Amino acid sequence: MSRPTVFPSITPSDSVSYYSSDELETWDYQVLRKVATKVPTDEISGNDMKGDIAFFLAHNYTAGEIDQFRKRVE
Protein backbone atom coordinates (compact mmCIF):
# COMPACT_ATOMS: atom_id res chain seq x y z
CA MET A 1 0.00 0.00 0.00
CA SER A 2 1.50 3.34 -0.96
CA ARG A 3 1.46 6.05 1.63
CA PRO A 4 -0.32 9.33 0.96
CA THR A 5 1.54 12.60 0.49
CA VAL A 6 0.35 14.96 3.21
CA PHE A 7 2.59 17.96 2.71
CA PRO A 8 3.62 18.91 -0.82
CA SER A 9 7.28 18.53 0.11
CA ILE A 10 6.90 15.05 1.62
CA THR A 11 7.34 12.14 -0.73
CA PRO A 12 7.13 9.05 1.48
CA SER A 13 9.32 6.13 0.56
CA ASP A 14 8.92 2.50 1.55
CA SER A 15 12.68 2.03 1.54
CA VAL A 16 14.86 2.70 4.55
CA SER A 17 17.29 5.52 3.91
CA TYR A 18 19.13 8.29 5.67
CA TYR A 19 18.32 11.93 5.06
CA SER A 20 20.79 14.81 4.92
CA SER A 21 20.15 18.01 6.85
CA ASP A 22 19.18 19.68 3.56
CA GLU A 23 16.60 16.98 2.89
CA LEU A 24 15.19 17.29 6.39
CA GLU A 25 14.55 20.98 5.78
CA THR A 26 12.63 20.23 2.58
CA TRP A 27 9.84 18.16 4.13
CA ASP A 28 8.40 20.47 6.75
CA TYR A 29 10.69 19.01 9.39
CA GLN A 30 9.69 21.51 12.07
CA VAL A 31 6.02 20.59 11.69
CA LEU A 32 6.72 16.87 11.57
CA ARG A 33 8.98 17.03 14.63
CA LYS A 34 6.23 18.71 16.64
CA VAL A 35 3.64 16.19 15.48
CA ALA A 36 5.95 13.21 16.05
CA THR A 37 6.20 14.02 19.75
CA LYS A 38 2.45 13.42 20.01
CA VAL A 39 2.36 10.20 17.99
CA PRO A 40 2.14 6.99 20.08
CA THR A 41 5.25 4.89 19.49
CA ASP A 42 3.20 1.94 18.23
CA GLU A 43 1.94 4.14 15.38
CA ILE A 44 5.47 4.58 13.98
CA SER A 45 7.58 1.70 12.71
CA GLY A 46 10.79 3.72 12.76
CA ASN A 47 11.88 2.37 9.39
CA ASP A 48 10.63 5.35 7.40
CA MET A 49 9.92 8.18 9.82
CA LYS A 50 8.65 10.74 7.35
CA GLY A 51 6.44 8.17 5.62
CA ASP A 52 5.08 6.96 8.94
CA ILE A 53 4.30 10.48 10.09
CA ALA A 54 2.70 11.35 6.74
CA PHE A 55 0.57 8.21 7.03
CA PHE A 56 -0.39 9.08 10.62
CA LEU A 57 -1.29 12.66 9.72
CA ALA A 58 -3.36 11.63 6.72
CA HIS A 59 -5.43 9.25 8.81
CA ASN A 60 -5.83 11.34 11.96
CA TYR A 61 -6.20 14.96 10.86
CA THR A 62 -8.29 16.88 8.35
CA ALA A 63 -6.67 19.07 5.71
CA GLY A 64 -7.72 22.11 7.75
CA GLU A 65 -6.01 20.79 10.87
CA ILE A 66 -2.84 20.08 8.90
CA ASP A 67 -2.90 23.65 7.56
CA GLN A 68 -3.10 24.85 11.17
CA PHE A 69 0.04 22.83 12.00
CA ARG A 70 1.84 24.58 9.16
CA LYS A 71 0.73 28.04 10.30
CA ARG A 72 1.91 27.43 13.86
CA VAL A 73 5.51 26.98 12.79
CA GLU A 74 5.68 29.67 10.13
What are the extents of the domains in the chain?
Answer: 21-73
Helix (H) or strand (E) holding 72: helix 63-73
Check: CB of residue 50 under 8 Å from CB of residue 32: yes
Q: What is 14-58 written as a DSSP string?
A: SS-----HHHHHHTTHHHHHHHHTTS-GGG--SSSHHHHHHHHHH
pTM for the full predicted model: 0.38
Three-state DSSP state, 60: helix
pLDDT per residue as tens digits for the range 12-51: 444 445 555 555 555 566 666 666 666 665 555 556 666 6
Above 60 in pLDDT, residue 72? yes
